[in-house]
Structure 1
Amino acid sequence: MGARSYSFPILLISLLFVTISLSTLNTQVPLWLVHNQFPVWQIGLVGSSYFVGNLIGTIIANWIIGKFNAKKTYSYVCILFALATLGLSLSMDVYSWSFWRLIIGIACAVTWVIVESCILVTGTVRTRGKMLAVYMTTYYLGTVFGQALLRYFPIDVLYFGLVISTLMALAILFIALTHYKLPKKKKSSFNLMPMLVHKQARLGLMGCVIAGMIIGSFYSLLPAYYAHLGYDDSQVANWMIILITSGVIAQIPVGWIADRYGKQKLLIIEMIIATLACMMLIAGVFDVIATILLGATIYTVYPISMAWACETVKKQDIVTMNQTMLLVNTLGSLVAPALIALAMDKLGNDYLFVSIVLISIYFVWLLSRSLIKNRWSRHAGSF
């Protein structure tokens, strides 16, 4: 237990370097493409390619971990991340950039499976929720730091890649100091169907899909949205900082509220608030307040949904459920940016927020219908 307690903060420090790297790339890549006159649909394609990589990485993560062990796998994918970032400097076209972003997506997904699995396996029923809250807070802090540091990064793609490579080297150094070992499965087959059809986890998994759709769209398209409004790179980074910082601050209090008052009710309220915030942004009123509300809601949907789904399975199935949640989250992140980018190209930039409103309303309908159905069943059962 001593090794575990000391390994956890070191694991988070390593994750911090990976997240800072990813955060800077998520904003800088769309801006590079905008500055080079790429249309919105191609920017969406490059963004979706990253999430295709997430999907592939999620599927192959267990096989790679079983072959090389957790720490070696983590180190290898950090090296892959660095090489792919350097690869962006080789040419400026949509197909090569889509390929390199796909490779980065694979590396990130494997990293998340390792980190989240280490937390879920070593945590207990009492500590797992707190550890996940600290993990998500660290992840979003890294995202904020990445946005804040972006103005100090070199604009040149090659030198940018060299900075990312240095951060990846630091991530490898810290992961080497941990003592995590993940249990090996007897079967190496990728069988998530029992988790996907697990009725009690259905809405939790749907929450992971919704979170992926919204956050994936914002990461892929929001920098381009602000750039088309005429904001410079520094202003774009500032708006992203406001959005993500709100999510960081909300993590722990929202987690406490979810545990105390119920995850399903809280998700309904969050989606309603997100809808109102998007309407404010479409109308152009109280933009800062709307961005804060949006960040505080959308960035807490995934951890709440993840905890909700994990509550419905046995401990030996938690890692598989974690992999399933990453898979469906990635599917949401993969589909939404490409479709919403097409809508923005044809109908206007505001359709980024119109799309988020439609997604949120649909999730509110699903959650409310289930809540009413459960209450009616309990009421009928009392007679």
Structure 2
Amino acid sequence: MKHSYSFPILLTSLLFVTIALSALNTQVPLWLVREEFSLGQIGLVGSSYFTGNLVGTIMANWFISRFNARFTYTYSCIIFAIATIGLSFSMDFYSWAIWRFFIGIACAVTWVVIESCILVTGTVRTRGKMLAVYLTTYYLGTVLGQALLQYFPQEVLYFGLVIAVLMGLAILFILLTHYKLPKKKKSSFNIMPMIMYKPSRVGLIGCAIAGMLIGSLYSLMPAYYSHLGYSDNQVANWMVLLILSGVIAQMPANWCADRFGRRIVLLVESIFMMIACGLLIFNVYGVLAIILLGATIYTIYPISMAWACSCVRKQEIVSMNQAMLLTNTLGSLVAPAVIAFIMDTLSNTYLFISFAIISLYFVVLLLLKK
């Protein structure tokens, strides 16, 4: 790569965005619980964010072609900051759903820009390492966001102003890079052949399942612990443990996937996830269960992504990346709303019963895969 310093600068910018997003994703359900929103409404606000992710993923190529990679990223950060401050205007369901929708669009576009820059500039030999470093940076930013949450102001407006400062830093760093992405002649909907491509199907299903699980965790886990009587700091600590487990598991899980095969590793992870859900359902060995849950849920996506990408040619990788984000987002969009409704109707424990059912489906799918 001509400008070798661009990659670490890109990751630094990503770090600021991820810290902001991580803190906001945990704080929003806590604000809504405090204002006595129902679990169903909290789940729908979470789904509106993931609906924005879906729209942003589909439109990202159009934005990149029109404004180029760095300015598209810059405008996305500005939208993120404005929408977060917008949350302070009124505390009602529809306003928060709309603002979270715009935040979702902004986040999805930044992810497409970053992942596409990595995939286009990396070689066959370096691409896997760059993606591993990217995901590790993303999860470390997520952990930092949870750890720093106790130092963020609790007032919605001032919280939004801190987010705006982080977005300003992200913009400053992205403008120091020299990334350029090729413009596509076709519509962004040319990802459909990637979604229908049979050899990549299990990888794409894995991306969708990862979206269902992670989306539900971010949208509903803080509310789950809050309903158990935990303080905001205790909720943040549990989320730190969950995500940090995923960070630590990244490199070993990906090494095992390369050594023993992606199918075997995903199968073992799904079984461990079912065990973790069982422990949480019966409320025993809570710390061990959260460590197992984080280590498995957060490593399904990168392994599934590598599986799907290994089935296509280099010139199709960016389209496959968009297809993976799309399926991941669809899972994130549907699951929180459905699981929240079940939890509201039955009990909070159904968060983990739902996870166990999803894991069981993936186990059966992987066992049937030749």
Q: Same fold (TM over 0.5)?
A: yes
Give how far 1:51 is off.
0.2
- Give the aligned residue type for 1:102: F
> What does residue range 134-283 of structure 1 map to in structure 2 within 5 Å?
134-283=133-282
Matched residue SS, 2:179 = coil
Query: Is residue 12 from structure 1 mapped to residue 28 from structure 2 by the alignment?
Result: no
Runs of 4+ deviating beyond 2 Å:
none
- Whole-Å Cα distance in 1 between the matches of residues 251 and 185 of structure 2? 36
- Native 8 Å contact 2:191 2:323 kept in 1: yes
Deviations 1:337-377 (A, max 9, x none): 0000011001100000000000000011001101xxx2xxx
Matched residue SS, 1:90 = coil
Give the structure 2 partner of residue 110 of structure 1.
109
In the alignment, structure 1 segments of 5+ residues that lack a partner are: 375-383
Deviations 1:199-224 (A, max 9, x none): 10000000000000000000000000
Query: Is residue 44 from structure 1 mapped to residue 49 from structure 2 by the alignment?
Result: no
- Whole-Å Cα distance in 2 between the matches of residues 143 and 113 of structure 1? 18
- Give the aligned residue type for 1:56: V
- Give the aligned residue type for 1:203: V
> What does residue range 30-109 of structure 1 map to in structure 2 within 5 Å?
30-109=29-108
Give how far 1:2 is off.
4.1
- Whole-Å Cα distance in 2 between the matches of residues 53 and 237 of structure 1? 25
Deviations 1:194-253 (A, max 9, x none): 101111000000000000000000000000000000000000000000000000011111
Give how far 1:191 is off.
1.8
- Whole-Å Cα distance in 2 between the matches of residues 188 and 287 of structure 1? 47
Give the structure 2 partner of residue 298 of structure 1.
297
Give how far 1:187 is off.
1.8
- Whole-Å Cα distance in 1 between the matches of residues 55 and 187 of structure 2? 16
- Whole-Å Cα distance in 2 between the matches of residues 267 and 124 of structure 1? 26
Deviations 1:3-43 (A, max 9, x none): 0x211110000000000000001000000000011110000
Deviations 1:241-293 (A, max 9, x none): 00000000111111111111100110000000001001001111110011001
CA RMSD of aligned residues (A): 0.6
- Native 8 Å contact 2:61 2:188 kept in 1: no
- Give the aligned residue type for 2:93: V
Give the structure 2 partner of residue 21 of structure 1.
20
- Whole-Å Cα distance in 2 between the matches of residues 81 and 193 of structure 1? 28
Give the structure 2 partner of residue 360 of structure 1.
359
- Whole-Å Cα distance in 1 between the matches of residues 199 and 252 of structure 2? 25
For normalisation by structure 1, the TM-score amounts to 0.96
- Whole-Å Cα distance in 2 between the matches of residues 88 and 202 of structure 1? 38
Select the structure of larger CA radius of gyration. 1
Give how far 1:188 is off.
3.1
- Give the aligned residue type for 1:76: Y
Matched residue SS, 1:155 = coil
Give the structure 2 partner of residue 316 of structure 1.
315
- Whole-Å Cα distance in 2 between the matches of residues 157 and 166 of structure 1? 15
- Whole-Å Cα distance in 2 between the matches of residues 190 and 215 of structure 1? 25
Over the matched positions of the two proteins, sequence identity in percent amounts to 71
Give how far 1:47 is off.
0.3
Deviations 1:44-103 (A, max 9, x none): 010000000000000000000000000000000000000000000000001000000000
- Whole-Å Cα distance in 2 between the matches of residues 270 and 187 of structure 1? 38
- Whole-Å Cα distance in 1 between the matches of residues 216 and 114 of structure 2? 24
- Whole-Å Cα distance in 1 between the matches of residues 182 and 252 of structure 2? 32
- Whole-Å Cα distance in 1 between the matches of residues 188 and 332 of structure 2? 24
- Whole-Å Cα distance in 2 between the matches of residues 133 and 274 of structure 1? 22
Give how far 1:124 is off.
1.2
Matched residue SS, 1:30 = helix
Count of residue correspondences: 370
- Whole-Å Cα distance in 1 between the matches of residues 226 and 267 of structure 2? 32
